[in-house]
Structure 1
Amino acid sequence: MKQIDTKLMHPKVQIVKIISRIYKSGMTTTSGGNISICDENGDIWVTPSAIDKGTLTEKDIICVKRDGTIVGPHKPSSEFPFHKAIYDCRPDIKAVIHAHPPALVSFSIVREIPNTNIIPQAKNICGPIGYAPYGLPGSDELGDLIAAEFKKGDSMAVIMENHGTVLGGSDMLDAYARFETLEFCCRTIINAKAIGEPKFLSDDQIDVFEKQVPHDVPRNTDVSYPPEERAIRQEICDIVRRACDQGLMISTYGTVSVRWKNDDFLITPPDVARWDISPEDIVQIKGGKAEPGKTPSRSTFLHQKIYQENPHINSIILTQPPNLMAYGTTGVKFDVRTIPESWIFLQDVPCLPFGVHFQGDETIPKLLSENVPAVLVANDSFIVTGDKLLQTFDRLEVAEFSAKSLVMAAPMGDLVPINDEQVEDLRKKFLS
């Protein structure tokens, strides 16, 4: 994944940036978790022990030199031993994240390894997942147990029994993408189990999905960037970052496009961390051809067909909110009729089988209409449309909030929707 060039960022800057994001995303606590980077000199930069994760600054980050000398105002993390053990046994790993995100901790408590085939991209991002037996936190024994899993050579992620998780990466952003994606998978599986039984993709289905990356998209040679086009780029970036902050997208998945003029549009790329996206990353699609030097989203063809088929649609968001994906991975009906205000925004939301979003299938473009502004695609995504991008984002928020309410209500009893007559009253008052 193309990211900010970490080679130009001091390890202290990277660590503060990522630990802040982990904390603000609710994936660690004030005192929990630790992250580190091993630099080209073999020195290890690590978060300190017993310092508030919500207020860490660059001056708080500790450097443990290759010879064991400690540089910095605090003690290194109490779990530094397993960080060092990982670097010693896996030279390919240059960054380590350890934290206690709630869903991953749930799996560690029941002593299960999550099946990442719940969504198509997670298998390749997360890779094989190891499992380390319990060890006393901060002990050399725990370091040895974790290192033993990493020594096997095929895992970049390890579940720690009754503890949490530890993940490695070729750099800090690679480790973070793996960490965030694995926690998302766990949350989706847990939410799905609250309403039904999750269904998983086969390896063959995932292989077909991976082949959808449009490397052979035709390119334009002459490109112009008039003011209105540049304004759309900024609007897309603002909404993508907002979606990440709201937990509606993760760094590795989520696509936004906006019609520019006629059937030309602007769309996000597949190879940039969503919360780091900038206007120059956005890809212009003009006359069915992409801006030169850039790869548009793998769903570009789908977006193009939606715009061609639906003149009233001027913006599209495709993403994987964890509560909506509970419905998208179980086949349980996402019944918006349980919340009248939500039905006004979304009407009835169909769930379609995995694969209908691939190139050449016109099911979704023909199904979407003013009466069907959104669809779920099984094990893949929620696709929502609208006129203005803010309207589309609002529908996304309403859908995920509604799904969250339904997931939370499921253990309490049967969900009772409004009846057809009441729906018709809503239609007459708000949609006629």
Structure 2
Amino acid sequence: MSKNIKLIHPRNQITEIISRIYKRGMTTTSGGNISIIDDNGDIWVTPSAIDKGSLMASDIICVKKDGTIIGKHKPSSEFPFHKAIYEARPDIKSVIHAHPPALVSFSIVRQIPNTNIISQAKHVCGPIGYAEYKLPGSEELGEVIAEEFKKGFKAIVMENHGTVLGGSDLIDAFERFEALEFCARTILYGSQIGKPKYLSDAQIEAFEAQVPASIPENENIEYSSDEVEKRLEICDIVHRSCQQGLMISSYGTVSMRWKDDDFLITPTDVNRWDMDLNDIVQIKDGKREKGKTPSRATWIHQEIYKRNPEVNSIIMTQSPYLMAFGVTGNYLNVRTIPESWIFLQDIKAIEYGNHFRQSNNSEIVDNCATALIIENDSVIITGDKLLQTFDYLEVAEFSAKSIVLGNSLGEMVPINDDQVEELREKFLA
């Protein structure tokens, strides 16, 4: 989706985002609804009882400001609370409501997920409201939700129902939705293997205070054909990571060595789902491409490339099962199946804050062999070819998932030392 979403018709914006939500398993065929209010005050909304997995632009309904309905279906049964939100909060231009499993888990135990579980979520989501249960589709439900939005919330847990979120546009609302569900999943998965630990407000403020544009600009930029190919490869892996649930809109950095210690890296504050090759930032001779703002983590990638000549690609991301270990401090033992140990061997963890530029960076750079977890922040995966690095990420996430899910069955029995030596001799000698 174009970054200038004003140039995309609301029908197409809605169908694109509902498709992402459905394919990522965050709503069902019949569940969830999305709306956009345009500059005329007309509301574009998903229809009632139409398959979310095959929704087309022509299915989207327009409810005019005067109440006239245009379209071949009925508007969503939850339209009343969408309308109530827009009336209560003129700054909100888009609303997403869905029943994503993790947030439903919180709604049925009547809790709100603590977004201090990961570094950027508090900033993305803002404070979270709570709406008491009312009959779906009723005016009463609209009233209790609107009252929460009047308090300044943009994200609300709906008691025994799900969640509703607003944004300045649909991309903004989706980033908030995705980040909040990710927090909920991370807390749930972490709780299955240990006790989640949360960041303090001061730690989060320190994360937000990092200035990614402090790298000086480079006036002379070359765009060779091989460099353009690498940009496309980065974009492909970023998009695949989003589709696979290994990256979310608001967090994730991918880089590739270009030549010598120069490299290409993803930018900051660009939605990962919509990233294109023009967004990618060239880092040459320690300077950033003119007019672009690279990832906050650029300095980490720069140091890894300088000190590890065998590393040619890096992925730094949040994936839910790996982050279950990242937020609990539990050791991720990858002696699960042969593939996991061969690819990963050992995954160390470092404390939150060691990834800040002003910190002593040696712990990250010296321990970046294949995979490294930064507590309450991310996992760093390194490799030669970018596709290989992505494969390592998938293997690491699958390994973490197997351990989290298997925890309810009993204690993990890892591959023993003799079996590891056999693997070492056969595959790593």
TM-score strictly above 0.5: yes
Matched ranges for 1:367-386 at <5 A:
367-368=366-367, 372-386=369-383
- CA distance in structure 2 between the aligned counterparts of 1:59 and 1:98, rounded to whole angstroms: 20
Q: Give the SS at the match of 1:317.
A: strand
Q: Give the alignment partner of residue 318 of structure 2, picking from 305, 317, 320.
A: 320
Give CA-to-partner distance per residue, 1:75-96, whole Å, 9 cap, x none. Answer: 1100100000000010000000
Q: Give the SS at the match of 1:256.
A: strand
Matched ranges for 1:192-341 at <5 A:
192-341=190-339
1:3 Cα shift? 6.2
In the superposition, relative to structure 1, how do residues 337 and 172 fare at CA in structure 2: closer, same or farther (>3 Å)?
A: same
**Match of 2:307, as an amino acid?**
E
The match for 2:144 is 145
The match for 2:420 is 423
Give CA-to-partner distance per residue, 1:97-155, whole Å, 9 cap, x none. Answer: 00000000000000000000000100010001000000000000111111111111x21
- CA distance in structure 2 between the aligned counterparts of 1:167 and 1:243, rounded to whole angstroms: 24
Asked if structure 2 preserves the Cα contact closer than 8 Å seen for 1:3 and 1:173, the reply is no
Matched ranges for 1:14-25 at <5 A:
14-25=13-24
The match for 1:401 is 398
- CA distance in structure 2 between the aligned counterparts of 1:338 and 1:231, rounded to whole angstroms: 36
- CA distance in structure 2 between the aligned counterparts of 1:72 and 1:365, rounded to whole angstroms: 55
**Match of 1:229, as an amino acid?**
E
**Match of 1:192, as an amino acid?**
G
Asked if structure 1 preserves the Cα contact closer than 8 Å seen for 2:256 and 2:312, the reply is yes
Give CA-to-partner distance per residue, 1:228-254, whole Å, 9 cap, x none. Answer: 111100110111111111111011111
Give CA-to-partner distance per residue, 1:244-276, whole Å, 9 cap, x none. Answer: 111110111110000000000000001211111
Matched ranges for 1:58-97 at <5 A:
58-97=57-96
- Tell me if 1:170 matches 2:168: yes
Asked if structure 2 preserves the Cα contact closer than 8 Å seen for 1:354 and 1:379, the reply is yes
Q: Give the SS at the match of 1:13.
A: helix
Alignment gaps of 5+ in structure 1 = none
**Match of 1:271, as an amino acid?**
D
- CA distance in structure 1 between the aligned counterparts of 2:271 and 2:259, rounded to whole angstroms: 27
- CA distance in structure 1 between the aligned counterparts of 2:411 and 2:16, rounded to whole angstroms: 44
1:222 Cα shift? 0.6
1:421 Cα shift? 2.6
Q: Give the SS at the match of 2:283.
A: strand
- CA distance in structure 2 between the aligned counterparts of 1:137 and 1:213, rounded to whole angstroms: 44
**Match of 1:328, as an amino acid?**
G
In the superposition, relative to structure 1, how do residues 363 and 137 fare at CA in structure 2: closer, same or farther (>3 Å)?
A: same
- CA distance in structure 1 between the aligned counterparts of 2:115 and 2:342, rounded to whole angstroms: 34
Q: Give the SS at the match of 1:338.
A: coil
- CA distance in structure 1 between the aligned counterparts of 2:115 and 2:365, rounded to whole angstroms: 31
1:7 Cα shift? 1.0
- CA distance in structure 1 between the aligned counterparts of 2:174 and 2:63, rounded to whole angstroms: 22
- CA distance in structure 2 between the aligned counterparts of 1:366 and 1:185, rounded to whole angstroms: 27
Give CA-to-partner distance per residue, 1:30-50, whole Å, 9 cap, x none. Answer: 110001001111111100111
Asked if structure 2 preserves the Cα contact closer than 8 Å seen for 1:98 and 1:166, the reply is yes
- CA distance in structure 2 between the aligned counterparts of 1:246 and 1:71, rounded to whole angstroms: 36
- CA distance in structure 2 between the aligned counterparts of 1:175 and 1:38, rounded to whole angstroms: 13
Q: Give the SS at the match of 1:427.
A: helix
The match for 1:134 is 133
**Moved segments of 4+, more than 6 Å:** none
Asked if structure 2 preserves the Cα contact closer than 8 Å seen for 1:302 and 1:357, the reply is yes
Asked if structure 1 preserves the Cα contact closer than 8 Å seen for 2:2 and 2:8, the reply is no
1:419 Cα shift? 2.2
Deviates more, 1:419-428 or 1:196-205: 419-428
Asked if structure 1 preserves the Cα contact closer than 8 Å seen for 2:348 and 2:367, the reply is no
Q: Give the SS at the match of 1:206.
A: helix
Q: Give the alignment partner of residue 348 of structure 1, picking from 346, 350, 355.
A: 346
1:340 Cα shift? 2.4
Q: Give the SS at the match of 1:426.
A: helix
Aligned length: 428
Asked if structure 2 preserves the Cα contact closer than 8 Å seen for 1:96 and 1:169, the reply is yes
The match for 1:4 is 3
- CA distance in structure 2 between the aligned counterparts of 1:208 and 1:291, rounded to whole angstroms: 25
**Match of 1:196, as an amino acid?**
G
- Tell me if 1:362 matches 2:380: no
- CA distance in structure 1 between the aligned counterparts of 2:325 and 2:47, rounded to whole angstroms: 41
The match for 1:28 is 27
- CA distance in structure 1 between the aligned counterparts of 2:105 and 2:79, rounded to whole angstroms: 24
**Match of 1:397, as an amino acid?**
E
Matched ranges for 1:38-53 at <5 A:
38-53=37-52
**Match of 2:415, as an amino acid?**
I
Q: Give the SS at the match of 2:331.
A: coil
Deviates more, 1:316-325 or 1:332-341: 332-341
**Match of 1:29, as an amino acid?**
T
- CA distance in structure 2 between the aligned counterparts of 1:340 and 1:101, rounded to whole angstroms: 34
**Match of 1:174, as an amino acid?**
D
Q: Give the SS at the match of 1:229.
A: helix
**Match of 2:406, as an amino acid?**
A
**Match of 1:417, as an amino acid?**
P
- CA distance in structure 1 between the aligned counterparts of 2:365 and 2:115, rounded to whole angstroms: 31
1:217 Cα shift? 1.4
- CA distance in structure 2 between the aligned counterparts of 1:182 and 1:61, rounded to whole angstroms: 26
The match for 2:100 is 101
**Match of 2:148, as an amino acid?**
E
Asked if structure 2 preserves the Cα contact closer than 8 Å seen for 1:118 and 1:200, the reply is yes
The match for 1:388 is 385
Q: Percent identity?
A: 67
Q: Give the SS at the match of 1:284.
A: strand
Give CA-to-partner distance per residue, 1:179-217, whole Å, 9 cap, x none. Answer: 000000000000000101100000000001111231221
